[in-house]
Structure 1
């Protein structure tokens, strides 16, 4: 009995004596992408384009029971995804969605099939790495967007709804100043070398490991500006169209590249904080392209080096690069900065700041505290 085809997918082809590259495997067909081992995002875009060209949607009368889910995803990938800020993410999500919904029609999408998809992804589908519920939810959101786009474009005569798992509760983890200092020191290779016998508190520090200066720069920028992970890594010294830059003459940090499309994750320009400005001017003399570079090249993700710093600092797995944004927001509110000003500085809505970080503000529930003052207390007034 022939083995069932896994459908078109990416495969890392290792070749003797030649560079490792991503290829598209589709049954017995192999298509080169021209993307190297460290260029997975571009390979995802190539896979998305391949799927769109290979599969021509059959809409028939547009009834959900007649339209294949694969057609909807292919249409979305071809017509809508290229206009998004991160089309490669759509390609990555589609690859997983097709494994579960690829042989179904739209009318088969219901709560049962969506919950089965979440269980499959969280359980490690087909021997693949298990993911968290939030990841499965984001993939289903892509399916939801694809179905909504097909209905809007009149390819479906009826809307089809996707059942999403619950959202994960907002992260409340943030760093105390002592924790942030330990993390920064660890990025510079500095760790405790002697502790007090009674209190066990460090009394002597020394550089025992090789410093990772690009991680230290990343940490300082994130703590002082609350800029998102991806935007920090894209920062350069000059005006460009692919990322933000520092304007040292005017003291402004631009988080978006010139002409870059505005997304829901707003990236407004902000003044360079006074405590950060001297560091930035010094980094400008030490680096070529941007502050967060390694051996003269900008990096794409803070992963191994950042994890190494958290380990050396004795911090848990819950300390991720995004925690630094939470820390910046929390510190500003604790200092009494108004919520509207924090929202404008971080590029978030006031509602998000209030709901996620509002309890850190010294003015939080201050009016409620005053309600217990006065001689009328207990008189039914």
Structure 2
């Protein structure tokens, strides 16, 4: 007795890779002679790879196959070529939302890329198109909206290194689509790969406040902004680490602040950006004690009472003082490191405060240290 054919596509694993199988009763059309003789089409079992070895991901793609079938996995028609906006959306949903630590920045870049490239087919992206985007960003033709979420300063032209980072997101989205076999030589049918060129970029210019500029910024501020600027400077921390401080991280008796937040996401825990334990400097001790007491009295865990984003207030404050090119909170971290090295503090101590390696600090800030090479050589007598 012949085996009953399955009416619903099924999953099967071959060499660790998951496939969808289904029976197509009309797979092979009979020839004219066979049709004249009354013979019917010859059915056969077909299969298509889901391009994954992960069982969870395979089930997700299997569900997509069942709902969309050949419209998703079948032969690609010319009017269904993958466009840049779709590729970027897929990259955002499937990778950025799950793996990227600074999602806000990546998503802000994706918005700009979509605005520029729109529904251009991915395979048509070439070097002139990449250069046109980079030029538009660097001359201010294409500007980001001014935001307070830390995804970018917005409202202005950018450096070549920033344009390089943004084209890098486009390149990452293309490589993601190729891994999923949506484009490239392994797609069905195979498609050309785009030609993406990253701007040269060069070494980013180190931006920091001079001691006089810092004093002016502090003296002209008041209230929460005044406290925030000083705490951020003397801890040399990253903005969000200070904004999200809770009392648990502050040890007044030991005189330290643990910058590793108990509220970190899984992505943040995987980040290579270390958040060290830093000393409470004498200049900010009264501020920390006052904030600690206030949060305790108000029965809130946030040291500041909440986790308000201070990017925009800081940006507006420095812009009003004529320091628009330095109007981003991270400039205080750069400033603290630069000032310490200029004062002769050993680079190992600065690296420990920043939570960076000595090699990184030397590469980024090394030129700020006093030039004592000639004296060292003279004293050695060699």
User: Taking structure 2 as the reference length, what is the TM-score of the superposition?
Assistant: 0.62
Is the contact between residue 215 and residue 305 of structure 1 (CA under 8 Å) also seen in structure 2?
yes
Q: Tell me which residue corresponds to 1:231.
A: 241
Structure of larger gyration radius? 2
1:303 is paired with a residue whose SS is helix
Post-superposition shift, 1:219? 1.4
Given candidates 213, 220, 228, the residue that maps to 2:223 is 213
1:318 is paired with a residue whose SS is helix
Q: Which has the higher helix share?
A: 2
Q: Tell me which residue corresponds to 1:34.
A: none
Is the contact between residue 260 and residue 275 of structure 2 (CA under 8 Å) also seen in structure 1?
yes
Partner Cα distance (1:165, 1:143) in 2:
13
Q: Does 1:248 align with 2:252?
A: yes
Q: Tell me which residue corresponds to 2:157.
A: 131
Matches within 5 A, 1:309-320: 311=320, 316-320=323-327
2:311 is paired with a residue whose SS is coil
Count of residue pairs brought into register by the alignment: 286
Post-superposition shift, 1:139? 2.7
Partner Cα distance (2:87, 2:277) in 1:
41
Q: Tell me which residue corresponds to 2:340.
A: 332
What do the CA deviations read for 1:217-274 (whole angstroms, capped 9, x no partner)? Answer: 1111122111112322222324xxxxxx423354332323225323556132213234
Q: Tell me which residue corresponds to 1:151.
A: 178
Q: Tell me which residue corresponds to 1:35.
A: none
Partner Cα distance (2:362, 2:203) in 1:
15
Q: Tell me which residue corresponds to 1:106.
A: 122
Q: Tell me which residue corresponds to 2:90.
A: 75
Gap change, CA 1:299 and 1:144, over 3 Å in 2:
same
Gap change, CA 1:61 and 1:337, over 3 Å in 2:
farther
Q: Does 1:281 align with 2:289?
A: yes
Q: Tell me which residue corresponds to 2:350.
A: 342
What do the CA deviations read for 1:161-194 (whole angstroms, capped 9, x no partner)? Answer: 532223365343433434323322211xxxxxxx
Question: Which sections of structure 2, spanning at least 5 residues, go unmatched?
Answer: 1-67, 146-154, 186-192
Q: Tell me which residue corresponds to 1:303.
A: 312
What do the CA deviations read for 1:318-343 (whole angstroms, capped 9, x no partner)? Answer: 33322211111012223433323322
- The RMSD of aligned alpha carbons is 3.8
1:271 is paired with a residue whose SS is strand
Question: Which sections of structure 1, spanning at least 5 residues, go unmatched?
Answer: 1-54, 188-211, 239-244, 377-381
User: Taking structure 1 as the reference length, what is the TM-score of the superposition?
Assistant: 0.62
Q: Tell me which residue corresponds to 2:361.
A: 353
Is the contact between residue 226 and residue 325 of structure 1 (CA under 8 Å) also seen in structure 2?
yes
